[in-house]
């Protein structure tokens, strides 16, 4: 799942505080045997997913919270990271801030719409690798997907749960591995 020499590119970024607990959970999964489950996540399905990705690619996630001030509301990026995957192993993790430059608006101005999603994916492709999957969602949907568990011993199918949330319009999945629907 994780490369032996995993690199965190910008651990001093404010966005890293939201990504760090996810790395901690991945390390726990990596260090335990195949019976260990973290909120429905199991090592073997994750490894199988990673093995089926292109040889060199990026997985990207953006999560926004709504900050309400009086009569107005503003979408604030609270988690923005990408994992570089090489031959089925995550070898680097970086936040969206590592992608900052003339091709992207400032992090505080990133919005959860398609325009910024595509820009993020283009910059990731130019700087790191093509994006296999990109998930853009709100905090509530992210938490539902991340922390959902099953009473069944075989666990929960996180891929099917995410696809279900996407079909409901609660999140957006993009990338060269996503099925394309034409009207």
For residue range 56-91, list pLDDT tens digits in order. 999 999 999 988 888 888 899 999 999 999 999 999
Distance between CA atoms of 56 and 85, rounded to whole angstroms? Answer: 6
Query: What is the domain extent for residue 82?
Result: 2-174
pLDDT at 153: 59
Residue 183 lies in a domain: no
> Token pair for residue 3?
């490369």
Residue 181 lies in a domain: no
* Residue of 88, 85, 83, 22 whose CA lies nearest to 50: 88
Distance between CA atoms of 76 and 95, rounded to whole angstroms? Answer: 15
For the chain, which residues score pLDDT lower than 70? Answer: 152-155, 177-183
Residue 81 lies in a domain: yes
């Amino acid at each position: 799942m994780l490369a032996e020499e995993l690199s965190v590119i910008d651990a001093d970024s404010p966005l890293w505080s939201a990504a760090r607990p996810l790395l901690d959970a991945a390390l726990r999964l990596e260090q335990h045997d195949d019976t260990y489950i973290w909120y429905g996540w199991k090592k073997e399905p994750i490894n199988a997913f990673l093995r089926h990705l292109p040889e060199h690619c990026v997985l990207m996630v953006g999560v926004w919270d709504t900050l309400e001030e009086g009569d107005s509301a503003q979408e604030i990026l609270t988690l923005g990271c990408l994992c570089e995957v090489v031959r089925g192993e995550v070898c680097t993790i970086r936040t969206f801030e590592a992608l900052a430059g003339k091709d992207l608006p400032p992090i505080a101005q990133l919005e959860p719409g398609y325009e910024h999603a595509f820009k993020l994916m283009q910059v990731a492709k130019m700087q790191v690798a093509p994006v296999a999957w990109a998930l853009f969602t709100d905090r509530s949907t992210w938490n539902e997907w991340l922390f959902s568990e099953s009473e069944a011993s075989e666990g929960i199918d996180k891929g099917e749960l995410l696809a279900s949330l996407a079909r409901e319009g609660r999140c957006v999945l993009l990338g060269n591995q996503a099925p394309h629907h034409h009207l």
